[in-house]
């Protein structure tokens, strides 16, 4: 098998490694982190971890033909012997070599530049974050895209930010004067101090840890730290050292096939100068990776015209530019819409007869971006001014078939519609697989959805291929017919044998309507997701985590000690959860009953952290201890948690109770939030954390405890019965026609006459609740399932292995990081 | 000539009645981790227990069902579906779980080595 060596594990090098098949692949990264999403680097300082930003799919470097070496930069390339040498002394031979070394931040040669930080890698961000501790003000030199990203990062660290830009406007490459003004207004309104047309002269440390930035012809700026983010330069030293040609403005010189003059050496991404031109965007880099992957597979792909269209959010401001955004083409006309009050600026560049769209830019409102980008090069379907007005270009404009929807893979609207018709494609994943549209940068995916609609593909409300009904329709069928098994339901009202979508839904419905039965009883066991099947939370390595219930977050020292002892005896990783409980990680299936026997003996119950079910009721300490508390929030939280424990639902449900308006329990972020008032309780509903956080809305104020509990009973039961699969309370509320008023009419004023039924259903739930784990431990038949191997019940899964980090177990992973203990030599 | 493939080495897994219909069980066959399934029609299937997408041995813990006429198992990690007849991932036929011969003998389930 031939050997491909990729130098660089950035976004583009990683993409190539995933695209190449049939080669042994070794990827060598200079950083200690495997490839991560550099485009969203500022999120790292907003709380996303390096793991969140990772771009390496699980298992990518497993297997004998895939190797990732990290923290070991390549020092030289020996083209004669086709070998690369690394800093640690490895010598790695190659049949084909791809340079994907990226670029480095440009630091202007001004006195005192060494006192500034740069903004490029996770290590750079760690250094900036360390310097920002205790700091209040930061300066970013550079007002382009990267500079504004760095300013975002400083604001994420809680610093006041100054941005210094040499040009008279922000983002001078992407936007023109008018666009720059709209951008300036919006960003200045965020409290960012802007210094435009300002030349950096020198940087002087103050001696007290801070520094002063001196500008030409303007007042100096004092700050605690300074970051250079004023452009990038390609890392082309390896190519220079190996005698390969470089571009006039740097970069490894390659042809449109991404080949250097040496047929075995390629360059891609920011380090490559394709016919002399370098690109600082990830989309062209991905396109280059595809070209090289094709060539390594024997193809002859070349890089087509590079689309430098971009749509992004800088400091929360939407900015897009596409095609010939600056109107540089001969005879190009510009049509501008500017709204100085709303700080919106839109411009279209059209041909001299105003009929063909050439490009444009959008600041402050980019809703029309995808449509307009697809129209570039085509005859305008409407006068340009109509396309620019607010809301214009969204739905009214029908794209011609020749419009390019996916610019990464040059897929036209006609090709997509053709594929939808010819192959009967029914959803976005099918369109992606068939046409490759949407598989590059992904920005056109929303447009694929609307093309499916345009093609007349009905967006079905069917649960899945086995049931044409929605979840709430199935709920009603089961409630009215009294059907008690999945087999009967699918035989009478569905087709086939079910799947991972409908089976857990039916399991949830049966749990709500047949409240006394155990979730693992009879056929019900086969419907459950693995979490419900093992009554624990599956983790990435195949081990499980265990969360005992701690009602209201109140726990005795004796019980705390039991949790500690269990964790110690089974060597589990322990972490405090956001729901005021303790999560124990790293349990193998065969350990779960042993762990739970200990916990149940000590009086613990299942916490249902594994289920789409009521999870926790978080509380503050309330009037019992707190000087400000006005009600006993812990007491109410425990009462609610014991009442609703075990209630299965379309999604997880969290509750919170705060003892006063200071809201320390963050109840307004919960599905059901209760906040104490001087005279009773205020009830909030529909708060969610998660992917789309939502504040709960006030539903009742100043009610007594019985009224509160009755209303929560009905709210939860109405939600359980009518919400869609995996629909949390916030989107469910939004989907109710009539919204909050309607909900009030149903569960307070009983307009539908169903309240007695809802009350009875909740009473049944409360009366029949039993701890699932206690029941499981008492049933040898259920316990038999808790083995890794049915023919070797005593043997643990040998693939689950741990390393110790910060004195606890962590999953062992298969990626090598260079260090003193690693063997040196070819892999 | 008799080859190994013609004459697999059969490993005893468990009694047929111990397998829950439409729920998998993990088993050790030689050094391999295998996921054994009893389907709704009573027939048996055996595929590799390793999920190549999630990189963990969890296939036996997935939900069993059908896609069209094909019996499938859905990995519990990242919800990739695999055809239980061929082992192929539904969204990428190039990704395959190994399949194993499986038989019922005297009320016992047996899986053949590869």
Q: In the predicted model, what is the mean pLDDT of residues A124-130?
A: 91
CA A18 to chain centre: 20
Are A426 and A350 contacting, i.e. CB atoms less than 8 angstroms apart? Answer: no
Q: Per-residue pLDDT for B8 more than 90?
A: no
Q: What sections of A177-256 are H helices per DSSP?
A: 177-188, 237-241
User: Which residue among A58, A502, A530 sits closest to B55, beta carbon to beta carbon?
Assistant: A58
Q: How many residues does chain A have?
A: 827
Query: Of A202-206, A659-663, A809-813, which range is least confident?
Result: A809-813
More confident call, A418 vs A99: A99
Are B20 and A503 within 8 A, CB to CB? no
Q: How far is B13 from chain A (nearest CA, A)?
A: 5
**Domain at A534-768, CATH homologous superfamily:** Sulfite Reductase Hemoprotein, domain 1 (3.30.413.10)
pLDDT of residue A390: 54
Q: What is the pLDDT of residue A283?
A: 84
Q: Could you report the per-residue pLDDT of A301-313, keeping only the tens digit for each?
A: 898 877 778 877 7
H-assigned helices in A93-247: 122-132, 145-156, 177-188, 237-241
Which two three-digit tokens encode residue A380? 């305008």
Domain A3-103+233-296 fold is FAD/NAD(P)-binding domain (3.50.50)
pLDDT band at residue A441 under the 50/70/90 scheme = low
Give the closest-approach CA distance of A470 to chain B in angstroms: 19
pLDDT of residue A792: 92
Query: What distance in Å separates the CA atoms of residue A243 and residue A80, rounded to the nearest whole number?
Result: 11
Question: Across the interface, which of B11, B40, B65 has its CB nearest the CB of A500?
Answer: B65
Mean pLDDT of A285-312: 87
Preferred mutation among B65, B69, B93 to probe A, highest tally of A CBs within 10 A: B65
pLDDT of A816 higher than 60: no
Mean pLDDT, residues B59-87 = 94
Structure confidence at residue A444 (pLDDT): 77
Q: Least CB-CB distance to A58: which of B11, B53, B66?
A: B53
What number of helices (H) and strands (E) belong to chain A? 26, 39
Q: How far is CA A791 from CA A820, B29, B76, in A?
A: 42, 9, 22
Q: Residue B6 above 60 pLDDT?
A: no
Given an 8 Å threshold on Cβ–Cβ distance, is B61 in contact with A791?
no
pLDDT in tens, A159-196: 899 999 999 999 888 888 888 888 888 888 888 899 99
**Which residues have CB under 8 Å from A456's CB, separation 6+?**
none
Per-residue pLDDT, averaged over A662-680, amounts to 94
Residue A211, pLDDT above cutoff 80: yes
Identify the pLDDT of residue A203.
Answer: 94
DSSP reduced 3-state for A503: helix
pLDDT over threshold 80, residue A566: yes
Minimum distance, in Å, between the CA of residue A574 and any CA atom of chain B: 22
- Decide which of 3.20.20.450, 3.40.50.2000, 1.10.10.1100, 1.10.10.10 is the CATH code for A398-457: 1.10.10.1100
Using CA atoms, how far residue A529 sits from A43, A56, A386, A592, A644, in Å, is 32, 26, 51, 16, 21
Contact list in B for residue A787 (CB cut-off 8 A) is 26
A450-463 confidence digits (pLDDT tens): 788 777 776 567 88
Q: What is the pLDDT of residue A527?
A: 95
CA A613 to chain centre: 24
Q: Is A821's pLDDT higher than 70?
A: no
Distance from CA of A730 to the nearest CA of B (A): 25
Q: How confident is the model at residue A370 (pLDDT cuts 50, 70, 90)?
A: confident
What is the mean predicted confidence (pLDDT) over A771-778?
A: 96
Q: What is the pLDDT of residues A214-232, one digit of tens each?
A: 999 889 999 999 999 988 9
Interface touch A799/B77, C-beta < 8 Å: no
- State the pairing for strand pair A544-546/A582-587: antiparallel
pLDDT of residue A672: 98
DSSP A82-101: TEEEETTS-EEE-SEEEE--
Mean pLDDT of A627-631: 93
d(CA B46, CA B14): 13
Q: Which CATH architecture has domain A113-230?
A: 3-Layer(bba) Sandwich (3.50)
Q: Quick check: helix, strand or coil at residue A418?
A: helix
User: CB neighbours of A535 closer than 8 A, spacing ≥ 6?
Assistant: A520, A592, A596, A606, A610, A772, A773, A776
pLDDT (0 to 100) of residue A37 = 87
Mean pLDDT of chain A: 89
Tokens of A812: 């062992």
pLDDT tens, A476-509? 999 988 899 999 999 999 999 999 999 999 999 9
User: Would you tell me how many other CB atoms lie within 10 Å of the CB of residue A698?
Assistant: 13
At which residue do the structure tokens 């897994």 appear? B13
C-alpha torsion A18→A21→A24→A30, nearest 10:
-20
Query: Residue B11's pLDDT band (boundaries 50, 70, 90)?
Result: very high
Return the CATH superfamily for domain A309-397. Answer: FAD/NAD-linked reductase, C-terminal dimerisation domain (3.30.390.30)
Q: Which residues pair with A614 in a beta bridge?
A: A653
The sheet carrying B44-48 orders its strands as B24-29, B32-38, B44-48
> Is residue A690 over pLDDT 70?
yes
Q: Whose CA is closest to A321, among A345, A353, A356?
A: A345
Residue range B103-113, pLDDT digits in tens:
999 999 999 97
Find the CB nearest B58 among A59, A542, A792. Answer: A542
- In CATH terms, are A3-103+233-296 and A113-230 the same topology? yes
Query: What's the pLDDT score for residue A824?
Result: 32
Domain range summary for chain A, segments of one domain joined by +? 3-103+233-296, 113-230, 309-397, 398-457, 471-528, 534-768
ipTM for the predicted complex comes to 0.93
Closest CB to B28 among A466, A542, A789: A789
pLDDT at A82 over 70: yes
Q: According to the model, what pLDDT value does residue A576 have?
A: 97
- Give residue A433's pLDDT band: very low, low, confident or very high (50, 70, 90): confident
> Nearest 5 degrees, angle CA A430-CA A433-CA A436?
125
Q: Is the pLDDT of residue A629 over 90?
A: yes
pLDDT score of A422 more than 90: no
Residue with the bigger pLDDT between A335 and A544: it is: A544
User: Which chain B residue has its CA at the smallest distance from A496's CA?
Assistant: B66
Structural domains of chain B, with CATH: 20-108 (2.102.10.10)
CA A454 to chain centre: 29
- A790 and B11 in contact by Cβ < 8 A? no
Minimum distance, in Å, between the CA of residue A249 and any CA atom of chain B = 42
């Amino acid at each position: 098998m031939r050997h491909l060596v990729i130098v660089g594990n950035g976004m583009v090098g990683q993409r190539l490694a995933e695209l190449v098949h049939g080669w042994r692949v070794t990827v060598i990264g200079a950083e200690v982190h495997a490839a991560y999403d550099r485009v969203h680097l500022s999120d790292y300082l907003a709380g996303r971890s390096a793991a969140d930003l990772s771009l390496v799919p699980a298992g990518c470097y497993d297997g004998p033909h895939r190797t990732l070496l990290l923290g070991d930069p390549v020092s030289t390339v020996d083209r004669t012997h086709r070998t690369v040498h690394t800093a640690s002394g490895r010598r790695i031979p190659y049949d084909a070599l791809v340079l994907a070394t990226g670029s480095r931040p440009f630091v202007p040669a001004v006195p005192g530049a060494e006192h500034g930080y740069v903004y490029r890698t996770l290590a750079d961000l760690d250094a900036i974050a360390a310097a920002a501790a205790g700091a209040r003000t930061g300066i970013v030199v550079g007002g382009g895209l990267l500079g504004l990203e760095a300013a975002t990062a400083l604001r994420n660290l809680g610093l006041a930010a100054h941005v210094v830009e040499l040009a008279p406007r922000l983002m001078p490459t992407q936007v023109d004067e008018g666009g720059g003004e709209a951008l300036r207004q919006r960003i200045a309104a965020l409290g960012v101090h802007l210094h435009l047309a300002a030349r950096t002269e020198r940087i002087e440390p103050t001696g007290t840890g801070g520094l002063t930035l001196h500008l030409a012809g303007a007042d100096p700026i004092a700050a605690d730290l300074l970051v250079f983010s004023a452009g990038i330069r390609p890392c082309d030293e390896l190519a220079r050292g190996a005698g390969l040609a470089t571009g006039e403005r740097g970069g490894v010189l390659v042809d449109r096939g991404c080949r250097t003059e040496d047929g075995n050496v390629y360059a891609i991404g920011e380090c490559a100068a394709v016919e002399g031109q370098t690109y600082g965007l990830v989309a062209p880099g991905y396109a280059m990776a595809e070209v090289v992957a094709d060539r390594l597979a024997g193809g002859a792909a070349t890089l087509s015209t590079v689309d430098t269209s971009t749509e992004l959010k800088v400091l929360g401001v939407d900015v897009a530019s596409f095609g010939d955004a600056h109107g540089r083409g001969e005879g190009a006309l510009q049509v501008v819409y500017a709204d100085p009050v709303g700080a919106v600026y839109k411009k279209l560049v059209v041909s001299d007869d105003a009929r063909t769209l050439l490009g444009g830019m959008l600041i402050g409102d980019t809703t029309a971006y995808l449509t307009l980008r697809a129209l570039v090069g085509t005859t305008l379907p409407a006068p340009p001014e109509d396309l620019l007005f607010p809301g214009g270009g969204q739905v009214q404009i029908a794209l011609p078939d020749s419009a390019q929807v996916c610019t990464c893979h040059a897929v036209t609207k006609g090709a997509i519609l053709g594929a939808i018709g010819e192959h009967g494609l029914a959803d976005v994943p099918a369109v992606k697989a068939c046409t490759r549209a949407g598989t590059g940068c992904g920005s056109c995916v929303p447009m694929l959805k609307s093309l499916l609609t345009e093609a007349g593909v009905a967006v079905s409300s069917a649960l899945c291929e086995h049931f044409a009904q929605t979840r709430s329709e199935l709920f009603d069928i089961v409630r009215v017919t009294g059907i008690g098994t999945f087999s009967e339901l699918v035989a009478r009202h569905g087709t086939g044998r079910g799947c991972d979508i409908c089976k857990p839904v039916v399991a949830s419905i049966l749990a709500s309507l047949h409240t006394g039965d155990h979730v693992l009883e009879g056929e019900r066991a086969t419907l459950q997701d693995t979490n419900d099947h093992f009554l624990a939370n599956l983790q990435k390595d195949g081990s499980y985590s265990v969360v005992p219930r701690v009602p209201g977050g109140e726990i005795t020292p004796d019980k705390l000690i039991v949790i500690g002892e269990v964790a110690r005896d089974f060597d589990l990783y322990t972490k405090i959860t956001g729901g005021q409980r303790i999560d124990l990680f790293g349990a193998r299936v065969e350990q779960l009953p042993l762990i739970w026997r200990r916990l149940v003996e000590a009086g613990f119950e299942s916490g249902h952290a594994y289920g789409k079910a009521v999870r926790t009721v978080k509380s503050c300490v309330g009037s019992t201890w707190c000087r400000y508390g006005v009600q006993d929030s812990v007491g109410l939280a425990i009462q609610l948690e014991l009442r609703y424990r075990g209630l299965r639902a379309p999604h997880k449900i969290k509750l919170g109770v705060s003892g006063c308006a200071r809201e320390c329990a963050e109840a307004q972020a919960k599905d059901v939030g209760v906040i104490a008032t001087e005279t009773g309780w205020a009830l909030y509903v529909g708060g969610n954390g998660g992917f789309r956080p939502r504040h709960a809305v006030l539903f009742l104020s100043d009610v007594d405890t019985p009224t509160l509990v009755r209303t929560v009973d009905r709210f939860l039961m109405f939600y359980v019965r009518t919400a869609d699969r995996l629909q949390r309370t916030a989107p469910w509320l939004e989907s109710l026609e009539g919204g909050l008023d309607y909900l009030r009419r149903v569960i307070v004023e009983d307009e539908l006459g169903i309240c007695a039924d809802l009350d009875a259903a909740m009473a049944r739930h409360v009366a029949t609740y039993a701890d699932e784990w206690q029941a499981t431990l008492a049933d040898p038949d259920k316990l038999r399932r808790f083995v890794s191997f049915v023919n070797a019940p005593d043997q643990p899964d040998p693939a689950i292995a741990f390393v110790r980090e910060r004195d606890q177990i962590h999953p062992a992973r298969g990626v090598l990081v260079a260090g003193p203990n690693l063997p040196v030599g070819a892999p | 000539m008799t080859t190994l493939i013609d004459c697999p080495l059969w490993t005893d897994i468990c009694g047929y009645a111990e397998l829950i219909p439409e729920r998998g069980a993990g088993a050790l066959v030689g050094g391999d981790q295998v996921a054994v399934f009893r389907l709704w029609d009573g027939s048996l299937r055996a595929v590799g227990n390793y999920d190549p997408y999630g990189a963990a041995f969890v296939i036996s813990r997935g939900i069993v069902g059908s896609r069209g006429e094909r019996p499938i198992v859905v990995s519990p990690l990242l919800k990739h579906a695999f055809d239980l007849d061929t082992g192929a991932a539904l969204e990428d036929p190039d990704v395959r779980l190994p399949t194993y011969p499986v038989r019922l003998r005297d009320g016992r389930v047996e899986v053949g080595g590869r």
